[in-house]
């Protein structure tokens, strides 16, 4: 199947939503040979553009349609006609609960009923998947759910969570102001500064174009709003819900993860012996898309193919 990438905006829950696909657009009829799709729910920041290298490689190895949906409010639509409802009047659209409802609405509207779904959730996307699986109709259509570096418990107690709630939370107005100032710079200056940032951190500069979308006051405010809501909502592990869907889940934990300390992996492995949760052996970062897209795609495609062969 052709792995040509397409992207665009579709209406989900009244929100203009950014989607990227490989192997056919979401509104096209699926090839009769494929009765399954891979659907990625991003982490936060929820710009699907950060996952393009990862998903391009994944699709080329699996040969099935792959879709990625950006989080609500994290990519601005291209025209003012489709402008996003403002956060302050509509917080319920952009908080964690609203993001879960957004993904359920996307699946109901765009994934044909006879198509099975392989879910991939990265970071807070893993938590969203656990919530999505509480919907009986959606759960019945899911073949497997791969949760990568899953932030599904005690987020505020993690090292990064403490930094966010103790320091960054108080700098939100300053950060939004600085990004507002950044928007007035000439485009070539903005691209140069971002390229230097990635080069100094030994990261690929192809992330510049997506980061240009992120560097917008509206987008950044939505991202930080969701991040702070996560700190309030993602507390103790939902053990009961986990047990109900453990046969669908595969959890992949990092060894150097500031959001998910090793203790979280040890606890879940001990308390849920029937749950498949493994520890990364490759020193891959939580934000794997910044440096390790190809490696993570190879690991995940091998896992998906292995599981499909067993069934």
120: Cβ contacts below 8 Å, ≥ 6 apart: 38, 39, 40, 41, 145, 146, 148, 300
At 173 the pLDDT is 95
Q: Which of 101, 98, 155 is nearest to 124 (CA)?
A: 155
Q: Please pick, among 122, 257, 292, 301, the residue that the annotation labels catalytic.
A: 257
| Digit-coded pLDDT (tens) for 202-244 | 999 999 999 999 999 999 999 999 999 999 999 999 999 999 9
At 78 the pLDDT is 87
Q: Please pick, among 16, 123, 158, 301, the residue that the annotation labels catalytic.
A: 123
* 257 counts as catalytic: yes
| Digit-coded pLDDT (tens) for 132-183 | 999 999 999 999 999 999 999 999 999 999 999 999 999 999 999 999 999 9
At 39 the pLDDT is 98
Q: Please pick, among 18, 102, 207, 286, the residue that the annotation labels catalytic.
A: 286
Strand partners, 11: 16
Residue 35's pLDDT band, with cuts at 50, 70 and 90, is confident
Q: What is the CATH number of domain 5-155+235-310?
A: 3.40.50.1820
At 311 the pLDDT is 64
Percent of the chain with pLDDT over 90: 90
* 123 counts as catalytic: yes
User: Following DSSP, what letter does each residue of 89-131 receive, concatenated?
Assistant: T-GGGTSHHHHHHHHHHHHHHHS-TT-EEEEEEETHHHHHHHH
Q: What is the mean pLDDT of the chain?
A: 94
At 30 the pLDDT is 74
| Digit-coded pLDDT (tens) for 53-103 | 999 999 999 999 999 999 999 999 987 666 899 999 999 999 999 999 999
At 203 the pLDDT is 93
90: Cβ contacts below 8 Å, ≥ 6 apart: none
* 292 counts as catalytic: no
**pTM for this one?**
0.95
């Amino acid at each position: 199947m052709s792995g040509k990438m397409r992207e665009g905006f579709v209406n989900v829950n009244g929100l203009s939503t950014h989607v990227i696909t490989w192997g056919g657009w979401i509104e096209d009829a699926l090839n009769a040979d494929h009765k399954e799709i891979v659907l990625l729910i991003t982490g936060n920041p929820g710009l699907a553009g950060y996952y393009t290298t990862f998903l391009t490689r994944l699709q080329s190895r699996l040969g099935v349609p792959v879709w990625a949906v950006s989080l609500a409010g994290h990519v601005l639509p291209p025209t003012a006609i489709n402008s996003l409802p403002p956060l302050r009047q509509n917080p319920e659209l952009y908080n964690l609960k609203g993001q879960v409802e957004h993904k359920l609405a996307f699946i109901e509207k765009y994934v044909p009923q006879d198509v099975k779904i392989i879910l991939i959730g990265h970071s807070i996307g893993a938590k969203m998947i656990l919530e999505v699986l509480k919907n009986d109709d959606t759960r019945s259509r899911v073949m497997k759910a791969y949760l990568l570096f899953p932030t599904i418990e005690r987020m505020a107690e993690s090292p990064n969570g403490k930094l966010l709630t103790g320091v960054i939370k108080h700098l939100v107005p300053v950060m939004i102001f600085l990004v507002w100032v950044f928007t007035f710079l000439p485009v070539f200056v903005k691209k140069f500064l971002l390229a230097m940032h990635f080069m100094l951190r030994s990261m690929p500069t192809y992330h510049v174009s997506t980061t240009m979308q992120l560097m917008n006051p509206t987008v950044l405010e939505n991202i930080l709003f969701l991040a702070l809501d996560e700190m309030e909502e993602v507390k103790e592990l939902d053990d009961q819900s986990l047990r109900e869907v453990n046969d669908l889940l595969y959890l992949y934990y990092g060894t150097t993860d500031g959001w998910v300390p090793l203790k979280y992996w040890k606890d879940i492995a001990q308390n849920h012996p029937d749950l498949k949760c493994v520890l990364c052996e490759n020193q891959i970062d939580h934000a794997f898309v910044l440096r390790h897209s190809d490696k993570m795609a190879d690991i995940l495609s091998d896992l998906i193919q292995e599981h499909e062969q067993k069934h």
